Chains A and B, each alone.
Chain A
Amino acid sequence: EDQVTQSPEALRLQEGESSSLNCSYTVSGLRGLFWYRQDPGKGPEFLFTLYSAGEEKEKERLKATLTKKESFLHITAPKPEDSATYLCAVGGQTGANNLFFGTGTRLTVIP
């Protein structure tokens, strides 16, 4: 069964303190791994798609990496505006149009 586990559930960082969020997955034939950012009361906002192990993508202070079993979202020198819940989702061979979402990591960046 396709499954996504995100850790930690919550993370508090001081402004400028770099860290990483983890997304571990089991999926039959990975077709895509997606990172989204979700602010309170809003819909998920697309950040990255990764397709194969070894792939990396960057956007401002965020960098996403992918291995065969997990993905990391690295946050370099975070700012308070980076506070949000970060969601990971995977698409596999089963359920052709299903994305399986993790429960997210709630990030708080303290000024």
Chain B
Amino acid sequence: DAGITQSPRYKITETGRQVTLMCHQTWSHSYMFWYRQDLGHGLRLIYYSAAADITDKGEVPDGYVVSRSKTENFPLTLESATRSQTSVYFCASGAGGGAQETQYFGPGTRLLVL
């Protein structure tokens, strides 16, 4: 089925380890986004990508790295995980990237950093 998937759905890791969260979409959307959701905060944008090989920072990019070699995939890497990165991570995609364009979200990855 067409849609947006994330893996893993749940992940426990330790401080200092590298973690990669995967995102895959089948809509051929140009834009893809990574958000984190924390209690007391709205969803906050980490990074986004306008197309393959084009990425840019969002509101809270520190400690994260992204890449986009294929249109359908947009992995998010925590190079050295910290406890403050414990959160729920959502990937989203959209046909356009302007602030008037609808974004469609994946099911999320719940990450716990010990």
Nearest CB of chain A from residue B81's CB, rounded to whole Å: 22
Q: Give the docked Cα–Cα distance between A90 and B42 (Å).
A: 12
Of residues 53 through 98 on chain A, the ones whose CB sits less than 8 Å from some CB of chain B are 87, 89-93, 95-98
Q: How many residues of B contact A (CB 8 A)?
A: 27
Main secondary structure of the interface of B (DSSP, over half): loop
Q: Are B99 and A32 in contact (CB under 8 A)?
A: yes
**Complex Cα gap A42–B107 (Å):** 5
Task: List chain B residues, Cβ under 8 A from A90.
Answer: 99
* B31 neighbours in A (Cβ, 8 Å): 97
Residues in B neighbouring A34, C-beta threshold 8 A: 102-103
Please tell me the size bucket of the interface on A.
20 to 34
A87–B92 CA distance with the chains assembled, in angstroms? 15
Query: Looking across the interface, which residue of chain A has its beta carbon closest to that of B59?
Result: A98
A15 CA to B48 CA, complexed, in Å: 40
Q: Is the CB of A43 within 8 A of B98?
A: no
Given contacts A42-B107, A44-B90, contact A4 B102 (CB under 8 A): no
Chain A residues with Cβ below 8 Å from B101 are 32, 91
SS of A interface (majority): loop
How far, in whole Å, are A101 and B42 apart by their CA atoms in the complex?
A: 5
B61 CB within 8 Å of chain A: no
Q: How far is the CA of A44 from the CA of B88 in the complex (A)?
A: 12
B99–A91 CB distance below 8 A: yes
Question: A43 to B42, Cβ gap below 8 A?
Answer: no
- Bound complex: CA of A43 vs CA of B101, how far in Å? 18
Could you list which residues of chain B lie within 8 angstroms of chain A, going by C-beta atoms?
A: 31, 33, 40-45, 48, 50, 56, 58-59, 90, 92, 97-108
Residues of A whose CB lies within 8 Å of any CB of B are 4, 31-32, 34, 36, 41-46, 49, 51, 87, 89-93, 95-104
